[in-house]
Structure 1
Amino acid sequence: MADPIQQLVQHLSRLPGIGEKTAARLAFHLVRSPESQVRDLAQALVEVVEKIRLCSVCMNITEQVPCQRCSDPQRIDPTICVVSSPSDVVAIDRGGHFQGRYHVLHGVLSPLDGVGPEDLRIDELMQRLSASADTDEQVTEVIIATSANVEGEATAMYLARLIKPMNIRVSRIASGIPVGGELEYSDQATIARALQGRLPL
Structure 2
Amino acid sequence: MASREIDTLTQALARLPGLGPRSARRAVLHLLKRRETALEPLLRALEAVAERLTPCSTCGNVDTSDPCAVCADPRRDARALCVVEEVADLWALDRARLFPGRFHVLGGRLSALDGVGPEDLSIDALIRRVADGGVDEVVLAMNATLEGQTTAHYLAERLEGHPVRVTQLAHGLPVGGELDYLDEGTLAQALRARRPVA
Give the TM-score normalised by structure 1: 0.84
Classify the secondary structure of the residue corresponding to 2:159: helix
Between the aligned partners of 2:57 and 2:171, the Cα distance in structure 1 is 31
Letter in 1 for 2:75: Q
- What's the offset of the Cα at 1:26? 2.3
Give the 3 Å change call, closer, same or farther, for CA 16–80 of structure 1 in structure 2: same
How many residues are paired up? 195
Classify the secondary structure of the residue corresponding to 1:103: strand
Structure 2 partner of 1:186: 182
Letter in 1 for 2:155: L
Structure 1 partner of 2:18: 17
Give the 3 Å change call, closer, same or farther, for CA 73–36 of structure 1 in structure 2: closer
Classify the secondary structure of the residue corresponding to 1:64: coil
Structure 2 partner of 1:106: 107
Classify the secondary structure of the residue corresponding to 2:16: coil
Letter in 2 for 1:145: A
Letter in 2 for 1:82: V
Structure 2: 5+ residue runs without aligned partners?
none
Structure 2 partner of 1:85: 86
- What's the offset of the Cα at 1:81? 0.5
- What's the offset of the Cα at 1:35? 4.1
Structure 2 partner of 1:121: 122
Q: C-alpha root-mean-square deviation of aligned residues, in Å? A: 2.2
Give the 3 Å change call, closer, same or farther, for CA 65–190 of structure 1 in structure 2: same
1:74-98 CA-partner distances (Å, limit 9, x unpaired): 3222221001223322322334332
Structure 1 partner of 2:41: 40
Give the 3 Å change call, closer, same or farther, for CA 188–71 of structure 1 in structure 2: same
Between the aligned partners of 1:109 and 1:10, the Cα distance in structure 2 is 32
Give the TM-score normalised by structure 2: 0.85
Runs of 4+ in 1 over 6 A off after TM superposition: none
- What's the offset of the Cα at 1:197? 1.4
Letter in 1 for 2:34: S
Structure 1: 5+ residue runs without aligned partners?
none
Letter in 1 for 2:28: A
